[in-house]
Amino acid sequence: MNSNQHLSLDAALAGVIGDGGSPTSSACLDGIAGATAGTRMFKDMAASEYHADRDALSCSLMKPLLTSPAHFQASLAVCGTSSRAKDFGSALHVLLLQPEIAGQELAVFHGNADGRKKEYQEFVLAHCEKLVLDEPTFALARQVVEKIRRTLFKGRPLGKFIDESIPEATIYFTEPTTGLRMRVRVDAYHPELNFDLKSTRHGAVNLFARDAVDLHYDLQAFMYSLARAMFEGTTSARPFVFIATETTAPHSVSTLTAGENFMANGLRKFQSCAATFKACTEAGLWPDLGRDDVLEIEPWQQFSDKQGWRQALAAS
């Protein structure tokens, strides 16, 4: 981030940071009190406890509001989905950020996973409270984590920054404009930076950027920066750095600092989500996407009958 980017984000933060009021969630009775009233940090909150909280809005909870209020309501009843890519990303998080609890979070099946085999089925059932990985996947995850730790950022290995950080730092805060209680969970809360590990299908930065907007990483970056600024009592935002790690070989690792227009887009999404949730809560109405409208198409979607075979047919 250059100085202009800091100024732009600082100005945005200055417009929303104020007196956060009193804590409204029972989760905030403990933890470390922040500089702004109502802010608290929890260094050792379990991931299961964090994700089970419905008294405070998280970034993940708010994202469906960008589709419609009804989509938000529907998402509350949906359990988290799983895939090999998501599981691999989860394993990277544990091994990079909290290797000391890997034994509590991960279970390694000795051999290759095969859902058709009874031995594997029984292993998964016996370790249903953990993330199950087979031996090759676990070995690969360890190799990728070592590559991340060796990757240079600002002339130093990323591992040094990770070791200097508070892993999975949870911050509760009250959004001052709406009074809504919110929470974030920063992957690595470094004294000078915010780090967020993202496993990605794209090694190219421009393709990652496209996914980042579609998956609302910009909303996350702004919301996390706001939470930290409120906790620290400052309008000087810390740079937000994505550690983008390719899930397939050669497992490229990029350090991507959220820029000015990226953060500004996140601010607009954040304001939209907060205002929508507040308005729908007060009205008791959560509308969906259904509407009465006229269907039109863009110029680039219009049919053009210029197939080459028509020329050949006309000439015959």
DSSP H helical ranges for the chain? 3-14, 47-52, 59-62, 69-75, 84-97, 102-105, 118-126, 135-150, 158-163, 205-214, 217-232, 260-283, 308-315
Query: For the chain, what percentages of helix, strand and coil (3-state, to nearest 5) are there?
Result: 45, 15, 35
The mean per-residue pLDDT over the stretch 134-162 comes to 96
Domain count, the chain: 1
Q: Give the pLDDT band of residue 21 (cuts 50, 70, 90).
A: very low
Give residue 97's pLDDT: 96
Q: Give the pLDDT band of residue 4 (cuts 50, 70, 90).
A: very low
**Residue 295 reports pLDDT greater than 90:** yes
Report the DSSP beta bridge partners of residue 152: 157
Q: Identify the burial level of 78 via C-beta atoms within 10 angstroms of its C-beta, where 0-12 means exposed, 13-18 middle and 19 or more buried.
A: exposed
DSSP conformational letter for 256: E
Return the exposure string of 82-108: e unless at least 16 CB atoms fall within 10 Å of the residue's CB, then b. Answer: eeeeebbbbbbbbbbbeeeebeebbbb
Domain assignment present for residue 287? The answer is: no
Nearest Cα to Cα of residue 268 among 40, 39, 8: 8
Return the higher-pLDDT residue of 310 and 57.
57
Q: How far apart are CA 45 and CA 18, in angstroms?
A: 26
Return the higher-pLDDT residue of 113 and 264.
264
Q: What is the CATH number of the domain that holds 99?
A: 3.90.320.10
Q: Is the pTM of this model over 0.75?
A: yes
Average pLDDT, the chain: 88
Give residue 5's pLDDT: 41
Domain assignment present for residue 186? The answer is: yes
Q: Reduced to 3 states, what is the DSSP secondary structure of residue 45?
A: coil
Domain assignment present for residue 308? The answer is: no
Domain assignment present for residue 297? The answer is: no
Angle, in degrees to the nearest 10, between helices 84-97 and 135-150: 50
Q: How far apart are CA 28 and CA 171, in angstroms?
A: 9
Domain assignment present for residue 128? The answer is: yes
Return the higher-pLDDT residue of 26 and 288.
288
Q: How far apart are CA 109 and CA 130, in angstroms?
A: 12
| One-letter amino acid for residue 20 of the chain | G
Per-residue model confidence as pLDDT tens digits over 68-113: 999 999 998 877 677 788 889 999 999 999 999 999 999 999 988 8
Give residue 290's pLDDT: 95
Q: What range defines the domain where residue 113 resides?
A: 3-281
User: What does the CA dihedral 228, 232, 233, 235 come to, rounded to 10 degrees?
Assistant: -50
Compute the chain's Rg from CA coordinates. 23
**Residue 161 reports pLDDT greater than 90:** yes
CB atoms within 10 A of CB 6: 16
- Helix or strand holding residue 185 (H, E): strand 181-189
Domain assignment present for residue 303? The answer is: no
Domain assignment present for residue 81? The answer is: yes
Domain assignment present for residue 292? The answer is: no
